[in-house]
Amino acid sequence: MPETTVKTPWYPYTEGVPVHLDYFKGSMFDMVKSVADKYPRNVAFDFMGKSTTYRQLVKMIETCAKALKTIGIRKGDCVTIAMPNCPQAIYVFYAVNMIGGIASMVHPLSSEKEIEFYLNESRSVTVITLDQFYGKIEAVRKNTGIVNVIIARIKDELSKPMRVGYMITEEYKIARIPQDAPVITWKKFLKLSRCCFYNYKVERADDDPAVILYSGGTTGTTKGIVLTNRNFNALAEQVIATNPMFRPGDRMLAAMPIFHGFGLGVCIHTMLAKGGRCVLVPRFTAKSYSKLITRYKCNFMAGVPTLYEALLRLPNMKNADLSHLKGVFSGGDSLSIELKKKFDKFLSDHHASICIREGYGTTECVTASCLTPVTKAKEGSIGIPFPDTYYKIVRPGTDEELPYGEEGEIVLAGPTVMAGYYGKPEETARTLRVHPDGMTWLYTGDLGCMDDQGFIYFKGRIKRMIITSGYNVYPAQLENILDANEKVQMSCIIGVPDPYKMQKVKAFVMLKPGIAPSAETRDELMAYCRKYIAKYAMPYDIEFRAELPKTLVGKVAYRVLEEEEARKMQEQKQ
């Protein structure tokens, strides 16, 4: 192996971390079941004041597995889960795994057109969502291959006192589903389990596909990332190995969403597969997050940089005691040096004996594959690779490895690397490449460098991408949507620096001849965007231009627009 490849055996700053790990043989459900057999009475998760033990968790998973089998889900079938972090989502996720299906994880706040795309891309036959999102599913159902729609409700999983409060404050906001709607309600779904007596569990191998998460891949077009049982189970082993302070029963504040690799892989599966306790947060706000940290005395918390920036400004955190924290992790976007310093001081001022630890990863390897060690951090570094994970820096698009300190493309190999893009063999071949060393390397599309101690430094993205509040937004997709409007000649989407979101989305639009720029036209285009674009990716502003700047080859020069915005912001500060 080349000299500059990070070889995990040396791991100089992780005393007590094994060089190589033994990985669980079996499915994700099997790994959780093995923990449930060991700690049946331990709490698996808390949800809005109600606790569920590991024994109860497994029982509900088995009930859902039987119900899924009854409605016709078979080995290899895709089931879409469009849910926030709630008990039903976890039950169905592992139930799909138990019967040999594939769970396609979707953001429930996605636009109708996005949901339609996800359902068709995964060829899903069944979808489960909450009552408040039923309208979106019904609107696109006829354009998909969906056979069954399962509708759950938040109140079904609440304790009696919480249920009353929820019905008073929240339920009235949700549009009622017609009684004759072609859906299976959660209660009826559970009753269907009585029709299945045996043969509902399917044995699955480590490398069998288990989950589809969505990302832009290396070209910025949305793709389904196929992840295996081994990918998730290996991640669980790696996360715990690099956090030797973890003990069964430790609490993780699970606010990162279940449709995101960080939330599903670290906050949910790692905890449940190793005996932890998840505190589920269905609707994330910085205020709710801060309350749950102190209420449950959480030991671990994970989030994007914008979360930590928001916590610094919350008055209810002023006198909070955070001495119970064992680990605070940042991912999903670059953590600025200044924000890290501020939050480390915040932790110290609130009696925590730890510092925030930055990690790095891509959805193509579930989530993090690199993490700052417990005892050593380097300014600007995203850490060192997990055990059994290898990093190297190559000349972009090649297998030519670069010397220490030289900037190139980050490529990595290890047990969490995806099986491939769903139904996209050519894109898979471009992203997963076998090198002369015989290993399969994942080309991340990210620029970085490595120092002579193996610490990795993230420098930027080869692919054009905006990260806003931890979400990946691909300008080309939004431009395609805007350009499809009958009044738009051409558009360009850029990311504008924002102190809270890191970046916010701005659209520049050149209208078709004869269409005058006006407030009414802007409002019309914003309404159009809201119909086709997810809330987190919505432009905060649309600026009309008579012409868009071009490169010498005729492409829209988006960097020119970025520079113009940067100058405007600088002038405003002066």
DSSP codes of every residue in 274-286 = TT-EEEE-SS--H
What is the distance between the alpha carbons of residues 314 and 286, in angstroms, rounded to a whole number? 8
Helix ranges (H only) for 123-185 are 134-140, 160-169
For domain 469-573, which CATH number applies: 3.30.300.30, 3.40.50.970, 3.40.50.2000, 3.40.50.300? 3.30.300.30
Classify 293 as helix, strand or coil: helix
Show me where the domains of the chain are located: 469-573
Tens digit of each residue's pLDDT, the chain (574 residues) = 445 555 444 445 555 666 789 999 999 999 999 999 999 999 999 998 899 999 999 999 999 999 999 999 999 999 999 999 999 999 999 999 999 999 999 999 888 999 999 999 999 999 999 999 999 999 999 999 999 999 999 988 887 777 766 666 666 678 788 888 999 999 999 999 999 888 889 988 899 999 999 985 445 578 999 999 999 999 999 999 999 999 999 999 998 889 989 999 999 999 999 999 999 988 877 778 888 999 999 999 998 887 887 888 788 888 899 999 999 999 877 777 778 888 999 999 999 999 999 999 999 999 999 999 998 889 889 999 999 999 999 998 899 999 999 989 999 999 999 999 999 999 999 999 999 999 999 999 988 999 998 999 988 777 677 888 888 787 878 888 898 899 988 899 999 988 777 889 999 998 988 999 999 999 999 999 999 999 999 999 999 999 888 765 446 788 899 889 888 888 887 7
Q: Could you read off the pLDDT of 488-500 as tens digits, one per residue?
A: 888 999 999 887 7
Can you read off the two tokens belonging to residue 348? 């110290």
What is the distance between the alpha carbons of residues 360 and 364, in angstroms, rounded to a whole number? 12
Residues in CB range of 84: below 8 A, 6 or more apart: 108, 130, 257, 258, 282, 283
What is the distance between the alpha carbons of residues 289 and 270, in angstroms, rounded to a whole number? 20
Can you read off the two tokens belonging to residue 187? 């209660």
Classify 228 as helix, strand or coil: strand
Alpha-carbon distances, residue 143 vs 113, 118, 323, 401, 477 (angstroms): 10, 12, 52, 47, 21
Helix ranges (H only) for 14-151 are 28-38, 54-70, 87-98, 112-122, 134-140
